[in-house]
Amino acid sequence: MKNLFICILFITSILNAQVSPQQRDLMNFEPGELIVKLKDNLDAGITYAKNGKATSSFNIGNLLGISDKVKSSTMMFHQKSIEASIVNKQKMKAVYAAKAAQNPNNGYTPKEPLTMKNIFVLKTSDQQENILQLIQQIKDDPNVEYAEPNYIYSIDNFEVGDIITAEEASKMSTTNSSSTIEVNDPLYSSQSNITSTNIDDVWDQYTTGDGSQVIAILDTGGDYTHPDLEENTWINTEELNGVAGYDDDGNGYVDDIRGWDFINIDNAPLDDNMHGTHVAGIAGAVGNNGIGIAGAAWDVKLMHIKVFQSTGQGNSVTISDGIEYAYTNGATVINMSFASASESLTMRLTLENAYASAILVAAAGNYGTNIGPCRTCLPFFPAAYSFVLGVQDYAGYSNWDPHPYYTTYSFLYNYELIAPGTGIMSAIPNGGYATLTGTSMATPLVAGALALYKEHKPDDSKELMFGNLINTAAVPYVDILATFEVEPEPRLAIITHSKKDDINEQNDNGYFEPGETIEILPLIKNYWGPTDDVRVGIAFAEFEDQSKATIIQNEIQIGSISAYATLQDLNETLKITLADDIANKVQIKFVLTAWSGPNQDYISQSIPITIEVTNAIIFTDYITEDMTLTNDREWIFQNSMIISNGAILNIDPGTIVRMSSQAKIIVCPTCSIFSNGTAEEPVKITGVSGPGVGESYVYWGGIIIEHNQDTEGQLGGSSSQITAYYGNEEESLSSLDEIPNSIAFQRAKFFFTEFEYARAPGLSNYTYEGSFLAQNCIFSYNTNGSSGGFISSSGTAFLDKCLVTRSSFGGLTSMSQFSTSYVSYGVIYRNTNWIYNTHSFGFSLAGPGYAPIQFNQNVLDENYNPPYYNGNIGTIMTNNFTNPGNPGTYPSLFLQMYGETSSTTGIYPFPSQFWFGTTSEEVLRTMFFDYTNPRIDNLAVGIIDYSTANYVPFEENHAVVWKVEVNGYDAQDEYALMDPLGVGTHEFKVYFNRGMDTSVNPQVSFGVVQPYNQ
């Protein structure tokens, strides 16, 4: 299934161009469809059809202001489940109460439990509609609870091994046995998954099943005529004995005798793939019938629900409908042998309601990915949910969770169990059998075992069942016999904690300041048996300086906790008081521990926590008089930094300014701001971090330099001169070097300033607006709305010798038309590098047909040659430029470079000031198109001479590794030509764009990587 390859990992940044499962899954959804849930309190005119299906004539498109884009809308779900979800909402409030105080950044945490009411599926008039952009447009509407694409899920990532036909199977001997119980199914000797998990011992000592449990198989359907499945197929007796063509049981599905086909919309959920039949056989093939195999449960009811196409694809709407069908029609176990990195909130909501009556089991997925959290980790859904038993295999292909006993995700993502999924023998359509490999095969083994458990211990809660399964697991697999026999005991863990500073009438600003008393609220998870006396304690970490703080409440009793549950007391808290003289950013380390009872029974592992002290100036007012921000302390602006009343703000070198979430820097029309960083002591303007927001930064709102005259900060000119205007003042410029000191930028100048984590709020806003100069500045981790831009055209901005990196914009910038005869507002870039950025609407520096910012070569210094981009020696390296639905993005970039129209023909040299990070002309041709490409010849600009392109970066740029050769091949552009690496000697050559210090040996590491199976 997976081919191993050797990957050389250099400390220098060599990016892996391979598409991750998350990128792939998040962009894989039904075209022209989206799901919208309106708030529960909105009257959407819901009625119920005769079959119970929710309907509405409500004009949701009109409500959301997108009626011109909506072709049709339908409601999801049935009356029975919608009304049940409203009742279940009250039960779920207790679950969410403990999670409400946690950081939601790593998982979606709703403000309160949701119901299945008011969920619409919208289809757009245009199949090519940008669904993600449309969702961005409506998601902040006060009537909308959430909006999401109709994600596509897949089960096709599994490996097929040996196949045995029905004829071959019928000739096999029926004599077989195991050491524990006699089994006469001829292929039972191939079912090591049964013996390695001790299910055969459960058969021998407890039960093989009594037919009382119903396992719903949400898959590609099932061959319910298969001789090993037919007897165990679930039968809807009301429909079987009812009137043909009539919905006898009133569940909304006519003649659904054996389940339902949600793909073909009929009552024959037959398997046209093999996956669903194979999964069903593992869970519940008839045992000891002298045919084929024995399922984990010999006597069980298999409810076949087809939600995947023959191609192995299904979507979140169809799967959610299948889940609803399963639990409302009596399924006690729901098996989901599929996984995706994209999370459907609709599916999760349906599963939350299914959990009230059914045990949920899902496959972890087959991409060899750690659940995390970490930078390269990913949770896969639905297996990652804490209320779904996630099943992985003990094999390299499987997604995996190194810590099934705890998680640091705020929404408690986990895979709990390990079961065999490699080379598993089971049934396939038309009476045959085959071995398949995947976590899809590990999951139904657990589902079948759970059916036996539920039959044997019907009074055990699902949570206690979870605890018994997890805490009796052996190496490497779950031990089903031990699950039946174990006596549970508490197993406590501290999952996470929250901190607050609102006690004793403190300011409750989220910053932990000298002298304050801090309350700590641990969140406890019990992974096994119940206990009625949970206690939590805090102590200084070993070697910590205890003069920094005083622990004034070192132990609290927070109550009882049931099996496999969470507990957080929001009233009883641990308390510490910080010393009065602690410096800014000093961190104090503590440890938290949980246990049961006064004797500290079942004590948990201690977890470290850190409190970071903020000894900074926390600013909340307007700046109304001249002021200087000094570098002796950090400056935190809890609200926007508003400079008003003609004030001048200076920022000293080395100063750190932290802006709160969405806070802006706003400079009034008569005010000024000067950031005076130096190369040795740059100024940093960034988001807040640390206490109150976790370790990560929050995004602040960007900068607005306000103006009150149309001519303010304007550059104009003709073929003979360039003029700068500022109000009534004007000056003539004869060189680009004069621009930084121009009167056009007299109110806003930023030197050696790092702008981090700036994000313009809204869809179409710009992160930086107005007239300003940025020289030797770095813009990193900046972003904005899907249709917004980096810098607005509302003024003349000049970025000189700057770096824009790791940022994401709807478009790069906007500017007015500029030719050699006149320029109005615009944005000028000189010697500015663009590295590791993403621009969803292309690298667009001007509107179509507009020339780029350029000065007439006859007017300006002849050293600026060619004149395009003002002589910019710039680097564009590994930026991701995408523009869905507009294949002309790259040609339009060339039009802008050359100032030509689409009708211009001729041969044009590749612009000499750019390098695009490739050594291959073939790769470069995939980025740009000329008249030789018939697909977009109406947008192309003449013929591009690729032989003139730069395939090596400029020495003047920052140091960068631009090529790695492995055994003579370019590891990026000639990867397909490389032989596999293995035993022996290999030659690696690393190329830099400038001379490096050869006295220092480069650091190289080697690793084995499993590529994602595409």
Question: What span, in angstroms and rounded, lies between the C-alpha atoms of 4 and 117?
Answer: 47
Question: What span, in angstroms and rounded, lies between the C-alpha atoms of 473 and 392?
Answer: 13
Catalytic site includes residue 792: no
Q: Is the dihedral of CA 517, 523, 528, 533 positive or negative?
A: positive
Residue 449: left (phi > 0), alpha (psi -120 to 50), or beta? alpha
Question: What span, in angstroms and rounded, lies between the C-alpha atoms of 438 and 362?
Answer: 12
Reading the block at residue 175, the tokens are 């004599």
Catalytic site includes residue 710: no
Active-site option among 386, 440, 604, 672: 440
Helical pair 316-328 and 79-99, crossing angle rounded to 10 deg: 100
Strand duo 808-809 + 838-839: pairing: parallel
Question: What span, in angstroms and rounded, lies between the C-alpha atoms of 240 and 272?
Answer: 24
Active-site option among 190, 228, 261, 275: 275
> Closest Cα to residue 294, out of 198, 213, 189?
189
Catalytic site includes residue 219: yes
Active-site option among 25, 185, 201, 219: 219
Listed in sequence order, the residues at least 6 apart from 679 whose beta carbon sits closer than 8 Å to its beta carbon are 752, 776
Reading the block at residue 297, the tokens are 């449960």
Q: What one-letter code names the amino acid at 320?
A: S
- Where do we find the tokens 């790259």? 890
Reading the block at residue 922, the tokens are 């073939």
Query: Is-contact 327 358, C-beta < 8 A?
Result: yes
CA angle 938, 941, 945 (to 5 degrees): 135
Strand, coil or helix: 966: strand
- Where do we find the tokens 């004793």? 504
Q: What one-letter code names the amino acid at 682?
A: P
- Where do we find the tokens 């849930």? 37
Q: Dihedral through CA 722, CA 725, CA 731, CA 734, nearest 10?
A: -20
CA angle 811, 667, 650 (to 5 degrees): 110
Strand, coil or helix: 623: strand
Letter string b/e over residues 468-491, b meaning 16 or more CB atoms within 10 A of that residue's CB: bbbbbbeeebbbbbbbbebebebb
Q: How many CB atoms lie within 10 A of CB 267?
A: 16
Query: Is-contact 685 755, C-beta < 8 A?
Result: yes
User: Environment class of residue 662 by beta-carbon count within 10 Å: exposed (0-12), middle (13-18) or buried (19+)?
Assistant: middle
- Where do we find the tokens 């002591």? 681
Question: What span, in angstroms and rounded, lies between the C-alpha atoms of 998 and 1001?
Answer: 7
**Residues known to be catalytic:** 219, 275, 440
